[in-house]
Structure 1
Amino acid sequence: LIVSPYNYAFYLVYISSFWAIFFPFSMWLFNEDKYWNYILDKSILFSFDKSGYQRHKSKFNEDLSKKKLIDKVSLVTGGTSGIGGELSKELSRLGSKVCVTGRNKKKGNYFVKNNLNLSFRALDMANWMELDDFCKNSECYDYIVLNAGSMPEKLVLNDFNIEHQCASQLLGHYFLIYLLGEYRKINKNARIIWVSSGGMYLKKLDVDSLFLKQEYEKVDTYANVKRGQVTLVEEMSKQDRWNNYQVISMHPGWVATSGLKDSLPVFFSVMKNRLRGLAEGADTILWLLLTEENLESGGFYFDRKIVSPYLSSSYNPSREQRRVLLEKIEIYRKEYL
């Protein structure tokens, strides 16, 4: 291209257009993996499924299979099957003494009979009257995983007239660790992991319906309770009571559990070939318990990485919502514990 005073303007347009196309394209080629992963993660489908786990796994830099947990004691609620069962077995394999809880005695006794270093205690997290005796007679824990969760088809209330999912997964779990702390059953620097769900991403916190359920829809209720868990963990990390521990929430992605199959049969049927296995679902929980990396107390983790629990700022509960949530939990604690 010969530049002359007559085509200089054309030359400038040509060069500018060329670089406007070539430079972004060259940067994309240079960072292809980064941009491609970003796009796939934003799709949700190719992030929460097993292909997402395999992509993320390539960045993992700790081998947890060689950890030694002799003299460590763990508590896993809902630990007899699914993700909790897989986690309990791996913790026991690494040498930890593990107490698992669940509502089904027959299922729990069968589970511990076939695995070493495990003990079972029948415990319904929605039955708050059982919690005090359990905590008073517990061992001291280094690791606590709050995993128990179910999704009743119809509205179920506990003895205190609170919807079952909220009573067990939010209030019950909080009361459990509160009482363990009161009885000095949580060792210093213990890690407390709340197992939430990616299902809460599309749900804004509705504090009123958490505690006063007038209309029940199981999936919406589940998402609201899981959003409540994440919000509570964020607030706990600011309180002096929990300063000696690391309190963290996470979600495991879409995992092929019997609970998912029973609760969301259509979703399970459509997605069954894309769902993660139990070990993949338990991986980040195990990592959060054992990693030597610095963790952010109050943080929300997915596939060994801290992530935002909010699609946008509009999903972030307001100060007032957070205040009301803590206030209501404290009212129930004082009244029923």
Structure 2
Amino acid sequence: MRNHHHTHIEFTGTMISLTQTIRVARPIDECFDYAADFRTTPEWDATAYKAKKLTEGPVGLGSRFAVRCRLPLGSIELLYTITEFEPGQLVTLQADSWLFSAVDTIAFEEDQGQTRIDYHADFSFKMPFAALEGALKSGMQGMGKAALRGLQRALEDNNSAPQISSGSATADRLLWPGLAMFSKWGYRRGRKRWLPMSASLKGKRMIVTGASSGLGLATARELAQRGAELILVMRNPERAEAVVKELSAETGNSAIRYELADLSLMADVDALAQRLLEDGKPIDVLVNNAGALFNDWGQTSEGLEQSFALLLLSPWRLTRALHPLLKAAGQSRVVNVVSGGMYSQKLRVDRLEATADNYAGATAYARCKRALTVVSEEWAKNWASDGIVVNAMHPGWADTPGVETALPAFHTLTRFILRSPEEGADTIIWLSAASEAAGVSGKLFLDREPRTTHLLSRTREDPAERVKLMDYLDAFDAAQKAVA
């Protein structure tokens, strides 16, 4: 059956009523979960550009949202409260603003293999604007039709694979504009072009490393909200308990647990992988996020330089060990979190494990992230036939506890343009969740766009160095396992 919608609108005295129906080929629970959470409105209603949930806990009866909408002149904030909530069937929201109040009722019903969504809204304008209701009728009709068409498109989830925009490509070639994209202004610029992300993650098993704070915690929170089964890898047991408890209470998702591991120690990496392999369940998404910038040179208790161990050898070893579970998922994804700092460094395999002489923490960090980006590209080619999509992303300049601690001068200078952890984590979430993100592999992403891996020509490595990197890691990995 072809998807379609119809609209009826009437003007009765002091109220405008809008009724519209759409149908989509999507399970009813997925449609309900997406439409009932009004944080999604900027994705499908062209007049809305900002939305947030004001109440704690999962979406349900009494949940409140603030939605900021554009007007012909200026903007308006609508405060929505859920007054009826029947999962999979009905949600009613009461809206209030200085201009009008409204009651939106959205009903869901299975209909010949599709989900039928009936939307009804009653708008009442406040004095002195009530006298203008007749004149506003056509405008309300147009906005109502457009919003429901947008909701239909969002639920159809038929977005095309991402490509870099001409503006971003030009900025990358000119270097300084490319760097400017790392700021919160770059995020806000990119967001204007984003497509809805309505994919349900229920039944998807996902691992996020370094989930105790910053990007990892922001990623875990959103994936939990979308229904994923989460395994969060952290070092501190008290913090791990608190994170799982917090996320479960906030999202209503009970399928969240933690695994304890210090990922700078290969013995912990191997033990974690062994536990997961013994569990035997397929892994749909692995997010390699754990990391730190060490300002002082140091070695782990296993005798490895700590930046190299945590930032490169650890995700290499963990991901390779979990390859059977990623392959078993049929269509899985690996997301490697790198850093814009890598743009300053060229791949030099002989310098990956930094020595104490002339050690610079930011340089060691950037070199390992450059290597992990190359590894991502190589895995994408080698594992394509296994159904494993591998991409890297960098979060731009994000205001995380790690940045504030490791780079205090940088943090002080840039704090007014830094992204929030949620803004920095957005592309991790998109690569993990969006349907269209499964269509691209072996790329580096920023703000949901594939970007250049080199802003400077002098940082380009030759093919022989890439081969040398993979051989080096293979040999290093084998030697370490032999010793263990």
Q: 1:303 aligns with which of 437, 442, 447?
A: 447
Matched residue type, 2:230:
V
Show the counterpart of 2:288.
Answer: 146
* Maintained 8 Å contact 2:201/2:433: no
* Maintained 8 Å contact 2:308/2:354: no
Larger relative contact order (CA 8 Å, sep ≥ 6): 1
Task: Return the alpha-carbon distance in structure 1 between the equivalents of residues 175 and 464 of structure 2.
Answer: 32
The 1:324–1:160 alpha-carbon spacing in structure 2 relative to 1, beyond 3 Å, is farther
Q: Secondary structure at the match of 2:232?
A: strand
* Offset, 1:227: 0.4
Q: Are 2:216 and 1:84 aligned?
A: yes
Q: How does 1:1-337 map to 2 (within 5 A)?
A: 38=170, 42-62=176-196, 64=197, 66-116=198-248, 117-138=255-276, 139-182=281-324, 187-211=329-353, 213-215=355-357, 216-240=359-383, 243-293=386-436, 295-337=439-481
* Maintained 8 Å contact 1:99/1:121: yes
Matched residue type, 1:137:
R
Q: Secondary structure at the match of 1:228?
A: helix
Task: Return the alpha-carbon distance in structure 2 between the equivalents of residues 213 and 241 of structure 1.
Answer: 36
- Give 5+ residue unaligned stretches, structure 1: 1-32
Task: Return the alpha-carbon distance in structure 2 between the equivalents of residues 49 and 183 of structure 1.
Answer: 36
Matched residue type, 1:108:
A
Q: Could you report, residue by residue, the CA deviation over 1:252-289 in whole angstroms, capped at 9, with x for unpaired residues?
A: 11101011000101111111111111111111111111
Task: Return the alpha-carbon distance in structure 1 between the equivalents of residues 446 and 216 of structure 2.
Answer: 16
* Offset, 1:186: 5.4
| TM-score normalised per structure 1 | 0.83
Greater percentage in helix: 1
Q: Secondary structure at the match of 1:129?
A: helix
- Give 5+ residue unaligned stretches, structure 2: 1-164, 249-254
Q: Which deviates further from its counterpart, 221-230 or 305-314?
A: 305-314
Show the counterpart of 1:17.
Answer: none
The 1:97–1:214 alpha-carbon spacing in structure 2 relative to 1, beyond 3 Å, is same
The 1:243–1:310 alpha-carbon spacing in structure 2 relative to 1, beyond 3 Å, is farther
| TM-score normalised per structure 2 | 0.59
* Offset, 1:71: 0.8
The 1:324–1:214 alpha-carbon spacing in structure 2 relative to 1, beyond 3 Å, is farther
Q: Secondary structure at the match of 2:285?
A: strand
Q: Secondary structure at the match of 1:115?
A: helix
What is the aligned residue count?
303
Task: Return the alpha-carbon distance in structure 1 between the equivalents of residues 321 and 269 of structure 2.
Answer: 8
Q: Could you report, residue by residue, the CA deviation over 1:34-70 in whole angstroms, capped at 9, with x for unpaired residues?
A: 66994598424531101111111101112x3x43211
* Maintained 8 Å contact 1:135/1:185: no
RMSD of aligned residue pairs (Cα, Å): 2.3
* Offset, 1:105: 2.0
Task: Return the alpha-carbon distance in structure 2 between the equivalents of residues 186 and 217 of structure 1.
Answer: 41
* Maintained 8 Å contact 1:162/1:212: no
Task: Return the alpha-carbon distance in structure 2 between the equivalents of residues 34 and 163 of structure 1.
Answer: 41
Task: Return the alpha-carbon distance in structure 1 between the equivalents of residues 207 and 179 of structure 2.
Answer: 32
* Maintained 8 Å contact 2:199/2:435: no
